[in-house]
Amino acid sequence: MNFFDRLADRIATVDSVVSVGLDPDPARIPDHLADRDLPRWAFNRRIIDATHEHAAAFKPNAAFYEDPDGWTALRETVAYAHGKDVPVLLDAKRADIGNTARQYAELLDDDGMGVDAITVNPYLGRDSLEPFLSRADKGVIVLCRTSNPGGADLQDLELESGEPLYERVAAMADLWNGNDNVGLVVGATAPEELEEVREIVPDIPFLVPGVGAQGGDAEAAVEYGLADGVGLVNSSRGIIFAGEDQGENFDDAAGQAAKRLKKRLNRYR
Ligand SMILES: O=c1ccn([C@@H]2O[C@H](COP(=O)(O)O)[C@@H](O)[C@H]2O)c(=O)[nH]1
């Protein structure tokens, strides 16, 4: 079964398209977890326990784990999420020349991180993504129109054909989708672009970040982010730090925040 089939099953099981972003910023982890061996893992475990029943997927961002303890925390996190039957999408935005990309793609292996899907950067072109695309069982989520304010700087540049670069990326991703394992990242902070990309690729699921802390458009995220009901709308800080001021009970608020987002998104499904 490929990633999007597994994701479709999970969405149906929990009636949710929420992706819970696991970005355990060490500066924001509750004090009482700070003296644990692996504070990020201790934090994530509590967040997973509190939110998994509302989570279509967990999305750890690699930036929060890129040190020796971090990799261990990430491996524990992935295994624990899988134990709850939740797919894990690693937001790593990887790509490089083929020889190097092959090493990056080992993150997908069980003796790497064993994640179900990964975000990749299309800037280096098709061959840089081939080691990911060829993994028919794994999701490959290509950056298309990102949610940050500077996302327009390059991605909106107009090509000779008159189309903006992000539209060309969407069209190319469609060509790269021979294994039905390609998705696109399109931010909720760019609702018009979301609509335009959806017109270009009616069948490709999106990962839509930017609701919550970035203030993106939740309705557009659902309306255009889902392809045949499949896609993910991510919130990270808005869920995992919802209980930041509640000390040891921080996870209750995270669970409530995930449930609230699920309900809000479900109004538009
Ligand atoms: O265009 C993009 C691509 C990735 N992200 C990532 O998603 C989460 C969003 O976190 P919030 O706390 O909900 O803002 C984070 O990991 C980003 O690096 C994105 O925001 N936009």
Judge if the beta carbon of residue 213 lies within 6 A of ligand 1: yes
Query: Cβ contacts of residue 67 below 8 Å, gap of 6+?
Result: none
Task: Of 100, 114, 103, 95, give the one whose Cα is nearest residue 3.
Answer: 114
CATH class in words for 3-266: alpha beta
- Dihedral class, residue 247 (left if φ above 0, else alpha if ψ from -120 to 50, else beta): left
**Cα 209 to ligand 1 centre (Å):** 5
Q: Which of 51, 236, 261 to mutate to test the pocket of ligand 1 (most atoms within 8 A of CB)?
A: 236
pLDDT digits (tens, 9 = 90+) for 163-176: 999 999 999 999 99
Q: Annotated catalytic residue: which of 59, 93, 138, 262? A: 93
pLDDT above 90 covers what percent of the chain? 100
**How confident is the model at residue 74, as a pLDDT?**
98
pLDDT digits (tens, 9 = 90+) for 79-135: 999 999 999 999 999 999 999 999 999 999 999 999 999 999 999 999 999 999 999
Task: Of 17, 38, 11, give the one whose Cα is nearest residue 26.
Answer: 38
Domain residue ranges of the chain, discontinuous segments joined by +: 3-266
Closest residue (by CA) to atom 7 of ligand 1?
Answer: 209
Reported ipTM: 0.99
Instruction: Report the alpha-carbon distance of residue 151 to residue 51 in Å, rounded.
Output: 30
Contact by Cβ (8 Å): 26, 39: yes
**Cα 261 to ligand 1 centre (Å):** 16
pLDDT digits (tens, 9 = 90+) for 143-198: 999 999 999 999 999 999 999 999 999 999 999 999 999 999 999 999 999 999 99
- Long-range contact set of residues 66-73: C-beta below 8 Å, sequence gap at least 24: 69/38, 69/40, 70/40, 72/38, 72/41, 73/24, 73/38, 73/40, 73/41, 73/44
**Cα 234 to ligand 1 centre (Å):** 8
**Cα 188 to ligand 1 centre (Å):** 10
Closest residue (by CA) to atom 5 of ligand 1?
Answer: 209
